[in-house]
Amino acid sequence: MHATTRLLSLSSIDLLIVALYFAVVLGIGFYLKRFTKTGEDFFLAGRDMTAWIAGLSFLAANLGSLELMGWAGSAYQYGILATHWYWIGAIPAMLFLGIIMMPFYYISKTHSVPGYLKLRYSEPARALSAISFGFMTVLMSGINMFAMAKVMQVVLGWDIGFSIWVSSLTVALYVTLGGLLSAIFNEVLQCILIWAGALLIPILGLIEAGGWNGMVNKIQQRLHDPTYTHLWSTLGSFSDNPMGIHWTGIVFGLAWVISFGYWTTDFLVVQRVLAARDLRSARMAPIIASVFKMAVPIIVILPGLLGLAVLPMKLVPESSAAAAAGAPSYNAVLPLMLARYCGPGLLGLGITALIAGFMSGMAGNVTAFSTVWTYDIYRPMFRKQAPDAHYVAMGRWCTIIGVMISIGTAYLVMQFASIMDYVQALFSFFIAPLFGTVILGMMWKRATSAGGFWGLLAGTLGSVGMYAWVKIDPTALRYVALSPHAKALAEDMYRALWSWILCVVVTVVVSYMTKPKPLAELSGLVYGVTPLPSEEALPLWKRPIFWAVIVAIVFVIVNIIFW
Amino acid sequence: MHKPGMISIWFFIGLLLLAYGVIITAAGVHDLLVPPEHALVLANLHAGIWWGGFLFLVGLFYSIYFRPSRTK
């Protein structure tokens, strides 16, 4: 399957840069194999990461295949509103994880989020969470794999099968060799390369556009629409902004349920923090990551806005007939900006950044999947007592099998492209209710085992039900998303919010109807019965809360600046 | 994150940035001496030279500061 047209052509120098990257990530995998002997090494990187390494890895695992290109495309389509997914849709949740939730994850010594549910609630809650997480993870991994390969086909003319196999087998190899240790090492490398490869575009773009004000003026001249460069002032009505969303959807759906659900309970990212070497490092890691997360719009959103200002052509929606006929889509804005400014060498570095983004996201999926499968599904359900080496071997096999299932999913999507439409909703099915279960478990002593399980199940089924309702009867959108004008993103947000509320209500009701666990069993798991280590002996500047307050202040200031 | 005998990840990053810095700077100098047929936007800024040089300096610092003989 070859593309007839492509946006970029790589020179031999660019290919050398890409090849060097692959050589180094594989070399790191082979080098680290000798340090990966026990289950603790393979699944939790020996719990030996510094705050900086865990923090950068935490951030990089989130930079999936389409993180860079997809959100740059969203910025081109929706304007600066896309920044909400990086600021209010991430920063408060990351700080909350570091300050409030991390002590319970870390002190309980759990190896996974489903593992925490087992300790706090019961085996059924863990099983439900582990199976839904495993399903979601390999499916998302396959979808992202296909999406990345598709982009490489459009941008570089690379064969889809070639992109899928080379990149995924590389990830499979280095993760199989070195486990989470290898994944984290490479994620830090990938994080640096993403910045090195992508930062030049906004720098040169702002020079060309005449700075921020020049860019804003150019966008307004071209679109005759002032709403593209305002973050909050256009959110008073669904119809006043390019995204068709209301501020309540952003604040309660995105910032509260989706963001807190993802950043505090999605094991894909939480696993990186669990690998920290002590509680202080584990608490600092999300705070350090939040600083970089707040800066990511510079390399993702700004290029999209600059594309609106300086690109001579008009990009089209991905699903439009024009895109099918070969016109560049919104997602192509970043490669087009690369082609605009970057010659041989720099172009290779930019493409390496895109590939690194994909691989870091995939390694995150694969390591989380192998841990949850081995510790939360295989061990409790199939083989409870086995030597540590057996579980390490299972983790290695599971890595390979997880990648193979992902590749299979990618090929399935190639045949049935409509699958892409359905997976966007997966997050609201599984993560939003999980957040309700975890947060109640951590903060409310009265939550019972039965309450946790039935709440999680009700939230998940409720979310799937709402999705099906709108599919069968599109007029139901006015109830699910509060407006018939709501777009897909807005619908996802409100569905997540309702499923979270459903989970919480059912958990509370069932908990009051059932017998609570004795307090002694909740020590180390729940607020109020867990002795937390004092940080009074630490100087102020070494305390996580100090840095969290600084980040929070900067967060408020940037939101006001771009209001 | 140092297990006994383990080389720091920052050393690997330093080496890669060093290599990238050399390659990108060299490509930038080549473009300066032999301008390509189709010039890029802002080609007059010679981004390859200064961005490559920046990567080279960062890579050099990390390679030296986190060299195995010092951190192992």
Task: Band the pLDDT of A459: cuts 50, 70, 90.
Answer: very high
pLDDT band at A3 (very low <50, low <70, confident <90, very high): very low
For residue A119, the domain's CATH number is: 1.20.1730.10
- Residue A421: its pLDDT value, please? 59
Of A43-57, A433-447, B15-29, the least confident: A43-57
At A286, list the tokens. Answer: 């999300």
Question: Shortest CB distance from B9 goes to which of A17, A189, A200?
Answer: A189
Number of domains in chain A: 2
pLDDT digits (tens, 9 = 90+) for A82-113: 999 999 999 999 999 999 999 888 888 888 89
Alpha carbon distance A309, A304 (integer Å): 9
The sign of the torsion formed by the CA atoms of A500, A503, A506, A512 equals negative
Does B55 sit within 8 Å of A343, measured CB to CB?
A: no
Question: Coil, strand or helix: which one is A49?
Answer: strand
User: CA separation (Å) from A30 to A26, A181, A387?
Assistant: 6, 12, 24
Distance CA(B25)–CA(B29), nearest Å, equals 6
> Which of A200-214, A372-386, A447-461, A529-543 is the least confident region?
A529-543
Q: Is residue A191 part of a domain?
A: yes
A553 in any annotated domain? no
Phi, psi dihedral angles at A49 (to 5 degrees)? -80, 145
Residues A456, A401, single domain; the answer is no
Residues A276 and A410 in one domain: yes
Measuring CA to CA, which residue among A541, A70, A503, A28 is closest to residue A280? A541
Predicted local confidence at residue A225, as pLDDT: 79
* B9 in contact with A, Cβ within 8 Å: yes
Is residue B70's pLDDT more than 90? no
For A46: left if phi > 0, alpha if psi spans -120 to 50, otherwise beta; the answer is left
Q: Do A343 and B42 touch (CB under 8 A)?
A: no
Same domain for A164 and A276, yes or no, is yes
Distance of CA B47 to the CA centre of its chain: 13
Asked whether residue A118 falls in the same domain as residue A206, the answer is: yes
Nearest to A303 by CA among A291, A315, A285, A292: A315
The range of the structural domain enclosing residue A400 comes to 12-417
Do residues A439 and A526 both lie within one domain? yes
Closest residue of chain B to A35, computed from CA coordinates: B3
Predicted pLDDT at A4: 47
What is the 8-class DSSP label of residue A329?
B
**Alpha carbon A173 to its chain's center:** 22
Please tell me what DSSP assigns to residue A238: G
Read off φ and ψ for residue A210, nearest 5 degrees: 85, 35
Give the residue numbers in A contacting B (CB under 8 Å), as ranges: 13, 16-17, 20-21, 24, 27-28, 31, 35, 45-46, 48-50, 53, 185, 188-189, 192-193, 196, 200, 204, 207-208, 277, 340-346, 349
pLDDT at A214 over 70: yes
CA A341 to CA A201: how far, in whole Å? 7
Residues A378, A438: one domain? no
Phi then psi dihedrals of residue A285, to 5 deg: -55, -50
Q: What one-letter code names the amino acid at A170?
A: T
Residues of B in contact with A193 (CB under 8 A): 16
What pLDDT, on the 0 to 100 scale, is given for residue A60? 85
Tell me: pLDDT of A415 over 80.
no
The last residue of a domain, from among A417, A449, A467: A417
Q: Contacts of residue B3 in chain A, CB cutoff 8 Å?
A: 35, 46, 48
Nearest CB among A49, A196, A341 relative to B55 is that of A196
Same domain, A230 and A297: yes
